[in-house]
Structure formats: C-alpha cells, structure tokens
A and B are shown apart, each in its own frame.
Chain A
Amino acid sequence: DGGITQSPKYLFRKEGQNVTLSCEQNLNHDAMYWYRQDPGQGLRLIYYSQIVNDFQKGDIAEGYSVSREKKESFPLTVTSAQKNPTAFYLCASTEGRDRWEGTEAFFGQGTRLTVV
C-alpha cells in the first residue's frame, strides 16, 4: 500500500545534539513538507520541497535543515541551534506541480521529539 512513513515514532535528544527525523513516501509525490505541532497550536511549516534537489524555508525554519536527494525521501535534521525542539513533527506529501490544485496532503504518523 502507498503511504508515508516517518521514523522513529518517539525520539529523545540530549541538549546540544543534532537529530535526524526520517520521512519516506512511495506515493510518487513530487512535493514533501515538514510541519511542527505544539500543544494547542496549529501545524507550522518548517520546510517544503517541490522537487528533488530543491527545498524552501517555511515559517519556522531556523534551527532546522533538510535535504531532498531522492524523490521519496525528505529527512529533517533538528540542530542544536533550535532552542525549543520538543514537539510533534509531521511529514506530508502532495502530488506534483501540474496537479497541485485541489489535491490533499497525506501525512505520516509523526515523530514525537523530546529533549532531555
């Protein structure tokens, strides 16, 4: 079955460490996204990628980095520069540019990151 897989489901990080969250999709979608969700708040866009080898900053990109070397993969690195990284991270994907209008986003199951 096609879908998006995020791993790990739970992640604990010590202060000062970088951690990488995995996101893989087999939907053949061109666009992929990373969102962060804090309690009582909506999803906020961290980074998004419309095509392989290209990505754009979202609304809260500081302290995060991404890469898009393969169409199916869009890993997110939470760096030590991110001051408050404890949150629920969601990866999503949508169909390609020519078919974007009206298409919905498919989400992974999320990674819950906790700084200890």
Chain B
Amino acid sequence: RKEVEQDPGPFNVPEGATVAFNCTYSNSASQSFFWYRQDCRKEPKLLMSVYSSGNEDGRFTAQLNRASQYISLLIRDSKLSDSATYLCVVGHSWGKFQFGAGTQVVVTP
C-alpha cells in the first residue's frame, strides 16, 4: 500500500461548480500536510498548508481528518485556471515528505 494515495481523476468540472477530493495517508505519525498545485511540465507550487482545525483560502478549503487519516481539498466556483494536478504532501519525520501521485482537475467552459 502506498503511503499517500490520491484518486488520479481526471475530475471534469463545469466552470463555476464545486469539486472536492481526498488524499489518504498511512502513517499515523504524520505531522504536516500540504496541498501543492502542479501545472503540466512545471514544478509543484504550494497551494496551502492544511491545519488541524481546517483552513480556507479564498475559494479553496482544506480539511484534515486525523482519525480517518485523510485530508481533503474543496474548490468552489471553479475557474478555468484551476485546471491542474493537485498533489497531496505529507511529512512525518524530519526531512521526509511523501507525495501523492496527484489528482487531475479539468475545468470546462
């Protein structure tokens, strides 16, 4: 079993709709959680950190469920520019980040 798992998608989302997807992790000692966005053939860029209490940044909401060991990302009012691959990143010991394979989101007009 992979340490970090994501539904690869693609999630095809009409512009203006809401999309949500999860990422599960297997190491209960994981300490830090992030969502990164990666555009085709580019480096990943931090979208947002995920805090225990959940956090929101504009149209993006991230949640952490430690009991069930997953994090989620919700995108409201999707824009065409939200089309990308979203990587789940989990850190559980010093210097060790584990990456999910990514969830592809395609926002259509």
Contacts and interface: CB of A to CB of B under 8 A. Distances in A.
A43 B99 contact: yes
Interface of B: 4, 8, 31-32, 34, 41-46, 49, 87, 89, 91, 94-97, 99-102
Contact of B49 (A45, A104, A112): A104
Contacts of A35: 99
Contacts of A103: 32
A89 B31 CA distance: 26
Contacts of A101: 31-32, 91
Contacts, number: 56
B44 A42 contact: no
Given A42-B101, A102-B49, A90 B43 contact: yes
Interface string A27-46: 00001010100001111110
Q: Which 10 A-B residue pairings sit nearest by Cβ, starting from the closest?
A: A42-B101, A43-B99, A107-B43, A42-B99, A104-B46, A110-B43, A102-B32, A48-B95, A109-B43, A50-B95
A31 B95 contact: yes
